[in-house]
Homo-oligomer: A and B are copies of this chain.
Amino acid sequence: MNVQERYDAFLALTKELHALELVDGLLSWDQQTKMPPRGAALRADQMAVLSGIHHVTLTKGAMPDHLKALQDDDTSSLGDDAAVNLREVRRQFDRASRVPTDLVKEIARVQALSMEAWTEAKEASDFNRFAPFLEKTLGLKLQVADAIGYTGSRYNALHDEFEPGSRAEDVAVIFADLRKKLVPLVQAIAESRRAGTQKLMDGHFPVDRQEALGRDLLTSIGFDWEAGRIDVSAHPFCSGNLHDVRLTTRYDAKDLTKSLFGLLHEGGHGLYEQGFDPDHAGTPRAQAVSLGIHESQSLTWENIVGRSRPFWEHAYPVLTRHFPDLAGEYDLDQWHRQVNLVERSMIRVEADEVTYCLHVILRFELEMDLIEGRLTVRDLPEAWNAKMVDFLDLTPKNDAEGVLQDIHWAHAIFGYFPTYALGYLYAAQFWNTARKELPHWEETFRKGDFSPLREWQREKIHLMGQTYPSHELVRRVTGESLNPQYFLDYLRDKYTEIYDL
């Protein structure tokens, strides 16, 4: 085989791996949206079989040979896209081949028990029932980190799975700065004269009309319905890519903003997935670069666009066409304030864009302390509650609304949380550049034309796929390294006006 033939064989296998990942994604989508209840055990078997086949295809047989040959050969003739694909598949190969199969199986076994224990512990609001499983999981994840290898913090080995190239040491500095500035902003909003003038919605909003509204707004931001769909699931998500992208949401009959912003959020993920370069379908060159960048796309459409005043100048008439009674309750200004309500609260997934990152930073600091051995699992609830007081001036009434609220640790996921906050930072920094490069953005938003921003994102971010790691992508798009100040400026400007600070 010459270099080109070898690369073509590598690429065919890479696409096969991606096809298996899409199939796995569909099985999971189906499980959460359509599967009859008794199908769970068969589905688990199917996913285990696929996961085994994926692991073997990636780490045994022809793939290691291809990767070795293409390392030895002079591959410069293959071009830049090939370099991206080789780099990224090699990264996956290294991670997958370094962790012993027995350890992978043991984690899967413990994870199933841990999920069950967490569900029961959360129901009983009793962390002690979950603690032994978390201890076990943490021990296994430390073994994973050691097997994969790292420089600096052990945390890097785990975090790198979700945000390749990002380092805990840098994240820690950025988050410390962010926390220092967010806490007083939240305090200022809480003490403002407008604080508490809006309440959570408590009306009656039929689900079919919420869905119709969501569809209209997703259509206006440019979601392609020929290549996507919406369904209902307990936990909203976006899955699939390119020509088949599926969003889910849940409907609260009392509060339409939950599905509305949920759909804009998943729609932002969906635009990213629909926006990759179809010529590179099935390869890293046409896949998401990191979870943080993914989140930046969803947050742009949910918050930066979807909670902006110009967006609602277009969308308020759409809203009141679907829900005419709302026009009597909120005028445009009042509605804009309603959807930008800021309140310290206990639960991360219900937090607003000002307080959200504090929830994330808290989890990151605790994860670091656990992984670096400064904190034991037994002491975790106390540490959690102390930080909640420091960050948000709140004390959880019990473990359920405190340390047990998230599924991640029960699911053996560590190093993931920071990507949520990185998404906010990336989004604000991208937006700072976009609005300068799109000077007419306010006019086009008011007219309901979001194509200039969408096309800007597509060209600068979506079409790039995994060409550059996230930190490099940010530098290339915005001209500088990740800088949390853009997010802080965005919040300060917006909420100074809304809360008359």
Interface residues of A (CB under 8 A from B): 15-16, 19-20, 22-23, 26-27, 30, 34-39, 41-43, 45-46, 49-50, 53, 224-229, 240, 242-245, 281-282
Contacts and interface: CB of A to CB of B under 8 A. Distances in A.
B30 A226 contact: no
B37 A229 contact: no
Nearest to A50: B23
A36 to B, nearest CB: 5
Contacts of A242: 42
Contacts of A282: 45
A439 B281 CA distance: 63
Number of copies: 2
Contacts of A19: 42, 45-46, 49
Given A23-B23, A23-B27, A26-B30, A244 B45 contact: no
A181 to B, nearest CB: 43
A36 B281 contact: no
A243 B38 contact: yes
Given A19-B46, A20-B49, A23-B46, A41 B229 contact: no
Contact of A35 (B34, B41, B50, B244): B244
Contacts of A53: 53
A243 B41 contact: yes
A229 B36 contact: yes
Nearest 8 Cβ contacts at the A-B interface: A39-B244, A38-B243, A38-B227, A19-B49, A19-B46, A38-B226, A37-B226, A16-B49
10 contacts: A19-B46, A22-B46, A23-B46, A23-B49, A26-B26, A34-B34, A36-B245, A39-B243, A42-B242, A45-B282
Contacts of A46: 19, 22-23
A374 to B, nearest CB: 44
A227 B45 contact: no
Contacts of A45: 15, 19, 282
A226 B36 contact: yes
A399 B8 CA distance: 45
Contacts of A281: 42
Given A15-B45, A16-B49, A39-B244, 4 more contacts: A23-B23, A36-B225, A36-B243, A36-B245
A229 B27 CA distance: 16
A26 B45 CA distance: 14
A30 B26 CA distance: 9
Contacts of A23: 23, 27, 46, 49-50
